[in-house]
Structure 1
Amino acid sequence: MTMGAPSIEPMTKESEILEQLKSAAPDAEALGLEIPPPVFQFMEGRIESYEPGKSLKASFPVKPEYNNPMHRMQGGMIAAAIDNTMGPLSLLITRGAAVTLSMNLDYVRGIPAGKRLHVTASVVSRSRTNLIMEAVASDDRGKMVARSTAQFQLFRMPTGK
């Protein structure tokens, strides 16, 4: 029998993960902050799972109005989906505010309307003031659509008092 660190099961119930997000910023409402943010809601994002301290998975419908001229999801919308997955993960990890300082994206293939874009964001490194994350966006078959690395600056969450 081997002894090791207890494993933490990933959370897969969206309502529980949203509660975790809201508890990470208890004064958000008093400060006028919306969690999840309006753009996440506009893009009809759905949180799929959260592995505490490690990763967050979300998915987004690929709508015709998100298309580029080649009838594939426009790169800026893919970037927004990735940022909309990394942002909530940063809140869950740090329990504080974070802003994106830089984001690098590599686009691999297009994804047509009618599909879902699946994004998995994970923590690479964390210091007192910075957080480095990476994300992979894939289609319904698991084929990579894009990958990203991003750096976030961390702040203390202001209080509503």
Structure 2
Amino acid sequence: MDTESDNVIKGHEQIVAHVIAAFDDLPVPPGIRLQLPPPSTTTLALQYEKFVPGRSISATVEIPPQYGNVMGLLQGGFIAAMFDDLMAPLSYLTAKNPTTSMDLTTHFLRPVFVGERVTLTATVQKAGRTAIYLAAEAHNEKNKLVATAVSTLQVVGLPQT
């Protein structure tokens, strides 16, 4: 019997290995050399925690000092980038095609301090042939909601060779 728990992949290395294997079957634009995880994920220090194919992906990050503003709080652009970077693999794997962000709306609900650990989760709201709609949340160590995001991603059709 195939249940959701059978499909859950946990742990950064296991999720990266799954994504690498999945990308073998996905179209890659000509001239592109895949780097998995991508440089943006490495730069943002996201550590994948849980992936449910076609449904959700979660990651954690400890906020480093270089992401802080003058008050020692996480600068909002970094969490927006984290949301975008988390939504990208979920959309690509769900569409089984490249995707590109059409919009990303982020709402900041409470401050996050440098040194705090944040958990981000992106979920598929609706997957269509030409667009995928995702929502995401970020929670602090006390499981308090610190930010939310919604995004529409366009499914990019590649010419068949």
Q: 1:125 to 1:113 in 2, by over 3 A?
A: same
The percent identity for this pair of structures is: 27
Number of the residue aligned with 1:137:
138
Runs of 5+ consecutive residues of structure 2 not aligned to the other structure? none
* 1:69 maps to 2:70: yes
Number of the residue aligned with 2:12:
14
Letter in 2 for 1:21: V
How many residues are treated as equivalent by the alignment?
Answer: 156
Deviations 1:105-146 (A, max 9, x none): 110011111111210000001111100000001111111110
Number of the residue aligned with 2:101:
100
Q: 1:135 to 1:78 in 2, by over 3 A?
A: same
> Alignment RMSD, CA only?
2.0
- After superposition, residues 51-62 of structure 1 pair within 5 angstroms as 51-62=52-63
CA distance in 2, matches of 1:158, 1:63: 41
Letter in 2 for 1:23: A
CA distance in 1, matches of 2:158, 2:36: 13
Give the TM-score taking structure 1 as reference length: 0.88
CA contact (8 A) 2:132 2:154 kept: yes
Segments ≥4 residues shifted beyond 4 Å: 27-30
* CA apart distance, 1:14: 2.1
Give the TM-score taking structure 2 as reference length: 0.88
Runs of 5+ consecutive residues of structure 1 not aligned to the other structure? none
